Chains A and B, each alone.
Chain A
């Protein structure tokens, strides 16, 4: 310390000097050791380390919350929605969103809405005008149409509602006077669950077939992979349409839903299987696989225990990034009328109306489902991207974290660099890896 020239010392204020990760190579070790150093007896597990990296990424955490809210909305749709998805009132066709009022006679009051009256303007178009003589207070835990929550628990309270004859439309009404807000919640049940179930099916199928093909190799691998290629040869959406055409018209909505899930999974498993197979081809040559064989472990268990878990650092984020594909696939099918049928709601079939530009101009709120699709897809993509960055072993500790950015006093720190730059630095620093 004493040998350091004074000028040099001045440029390093004491407080900052103590942070080891002022220069780039350090943070790698430092962050990892930080986590492990907290409690010597109980080091942070790999999962906790990744979780910590993930938590540092604010947008991704926000996306998790947004998705959480959306999924909660879908789960409690019956309760939150003021009306059922098929509760229609033609006299409110394309009724604009209700404005929630808080001021009454210059005083603050409990939230209420004004009544609406349907008239025609000069061009003989239907317009709704607010009728300030009538006011309807918004009642919370309103007793209305009874339902069974998740098909099990009978209940008749809704989160909010207004007395008849008025109707509350938070996001406006569609052509048949159904509440867009309610239908978005019910539609979320379809659109959001299809992604999860679809990915679960195709992912398990891909893991199983890819694992078997990769582990055994030879003619079995050949047959399975040619099968995959045949599936991947056909452009996805046309295959989707062709398979949908094979499903009978008289299916009930639940059957159609299942059919769509199966079709979407059927299209997607092939690409999974190919990737997993490639990884298993290299993993099966590892010595611990040979070691497991010397212990008499069965082939199936070797695939399950010694091959597939090693693909997870890839598959976890790949799953996240592929969920939007299922959501968009379902929306696409429903949009052109081949998916979920009216009166059942899905974000896709709610947009059928919005295919006409005139209607969008007349009632822009019918585009709201598109906004929800957009948000959901965006969230899944951001989460997937962040997970990829967290799980990439080359990048552990190099992500732009608050800590790294703060400590960037001298020169460039990890926080200022692009991922490519970090990768190159990491590889020059540790040429073995």
Chain B
């Protein structure tokens, strides 16, 4: 049994000014290497907060109260900003729901993907450019050279999401947190992006935390599922077990909405 890539142990996140109000309440789960773990839950269940607390980018209104975030054997729940800045991008990447919001509109895709490489590698400008175009090709953009010099608004939604993914995996992190990566895309694109995650997992040897409210996405892509409700884990396990034999009432409800 290989050690887990990421282990969350009894993590609680609460509001800074009212500590009794917990957004995440005693959550524990683990992410094995080369796996896709889905965090499922409705709005306000604490999925996104979970993702951001792994990166320690919670807004000042929230703070980690108790618990440990063990990444590659190191507890990063209390690590300093400097250490976190080394990990962010280099070891843990993040993909957002709306790439149009998450890409800076005044710079080209090439610049923004290259920025990550500039930060985390020692490549020179020439190599960065070459590597960026390679990355854009690897995430399935048809004309990577053109995408390289395009601005975010010049690409379609699916292409933007791919560019965003290229940015997140640029420095070859071992963990990718995808926050509702498919919610702003149509169904066919959703399937393609999920396939992309699977192939990236195999190709780049990374694990993915897939944050979603859509059990269809989960059934399609994930290996493990963690169902969150009001900041608590209500059910977790292998995807076949949870999706096909949901035990908890909340999960059953979620499944029902899917079937309709």
A residues near B, CB below 8 A? 43, 218, 286-288, 290-298, 305-306, 309-310
A294 and B57 form a contact (CB under 8 A): yes
A294 and B103 form a contact (CB under 8 A): no
Query: How far, in angstroms, from A295 to B107 measured CA to CA in the complex?
Result: 16
Query: How far, in angstroms, from A295 to B86 measured CA to CA in the complex?
Result: 9
If A287-B101, A288-B104, A290-B102 touch, whether A295 touches B88 (CB-CB below 8 Å) is yes
Instruction: Report how many residues on chain B are interfacial, defined by Cβ distance under 8 Å.
Output: 32
Q: Among B98, B105, B106, B116, which residue has its beta carbon within 8 angstroms of that of A295?
A: B116
B106 and A310 form a contact (CB under 8 A): yes
Q: Tell me the B138-176 residues at the A interface (CB within 8 Å).
A: 154, 164, 167-168, 171
B98 and A296 form a contact (CB under 8 A): no
A296 and B103 form a contact (CB under 8 A): no
Q: Among A218, A287, A297, A306, which residue has its beta carbon within 8 angstroms of that of B96?
A: A287
If A287-B96, A288-B102 touch, whether A295 touches B87 (CB-CB below 8 Å) is no
A295 and B104 form a contact (CB under 8 A): no
Chosen A-B contacts, 13 in total, with CB atoms closer than 8 Å, are A287-B96, A288-B102, A288-B105, A290-B96, A290-B102, A293-B57, A294-B177, A295-B89, A295-B93, A295-B119, A295-B171, A296-B88, A298-B85
Q: How far is the CB of B107 from chain A (nearest CB, A)?
A: 8
Query: How far, in angstroms, from A383 to B221 measured CA to CA in the complex?
Result: 57
Query: How far, in angstroms, from A290 to B171 measured CA to CA in the complex?
Result: 17
Main secondary structure of the interface of B (DSSP, over half): mixed
Which of A293, A306, A310 has the most C-beta atoms of chain B within 10 angstroms of its own C-beta?
A293
Nearest 5 pairs of A and B residues by beta carbon: A295-B89, A296-B88, A294-B94, A296-B89, A287-B101
Q: How far is the CB of A50 from chain B (nearest CB, A)?
A: 13
Tell me if B90 counts as interface (CB < 8 A to partner A). Answer: yes
Query: How far, in angstroms, from A298 to B115 measured CA to CA in the complex?
Result: 11
Q: Which residues of B contact A43 (CB under 8 A)?
A: 154
Query: How far, in angstroms, from A296 to B101 measured CA to CA in the complex?
Result: 18
Which chain B residue shows the least CB distance to A217?
A: B60
Q: Which residues of B contact A292 (CB under 8 A)?
A: 104, 115
A297 and B57 form a contact (CB under 8 A): no
Query: How far, in angstroms, from A291 to B101 measured CA to CA in the complex?
Result: 9
B89 and A286 form a contact (CB under 8 A): no
Q: Among B98, B103, B119, which residue has its beta carbon within 8 angstroms of that of A297?
A: B119
Q: How far is the CB of A313 from chain B (nearest CB, A)?
A: 10
Q: Which residues of B contact A291 (CB under 8 A)?
A: 94, 96, 102-103, 164, 167
Q: Tell me the B152-206 residues at the A interface (CB within 8 Å).
A: 154, 164, 167-168, 171, 177
Tell me if B120 counts as interface (CB < 8 A to partner A). Answer: yes
If A293-B57, A295-B119, A296-B120 touch, whether A306 touches B89 (CB-CB below 8 Å) is no
B96 and A295 form a contact (CB under 8 A): no
Tell me if B55 counts as interface (CB < 8 A to partner A). Answer: yes
Q: Which residues of A contact B88 (CB under 8 A)?
A: 293-296
Q: Which residues of A contact B105 (CB under 8 A)?
A: 288
B120 and A287 form a contact (CB under 8 A): no
Query: How far, in angstroms, from A432 to B104 measured CA to CA in the complex?
Result: 20
If A294-B55, A294-B89, A305-B115 touch, whether A287 touches B94 (CB-CB below 8 Å) is no
User: What are the interface flags for B225-259 relative to A under an 8 Å C-beta threshold, 1 for contact and 0 otherwise?
Assistant: 00000000000000000000000000000000000
Q: How far is the CB of B167 from chain A (nearest CB, A)?
A: 7
Query: How far, in angstroms, from A78 to B51 measured CA to CA in the complex?
Result: 66
If A291-B94, A297-B119, A310-B106 touch, whether A286 touches B85 (CB-CB below 8 Å) is no
Q: How far is the CB of A285 from chain B (nearest CB, A)?
A: 9
If A288-B101, A291-B94 touch, whether A297 touches B106 (CB-CB below 8 Å) is no
Which of B94, B101, B102 has the most C-beta atoms of chain A within 10 angstroms of its own C-beta?
B102
B86 and A296 form a contact (CB under 8 A): yes
A297 and B55 form a contact (CB under 8 A): no
Which of A43, A295, A296, A305 has the most C-beta atoms of chain B within 10 angstroms of its own C-beta?
A295
Query: How far, in angstroms, from A286 to B100 measured CA to CA in the complex?
Result: 11
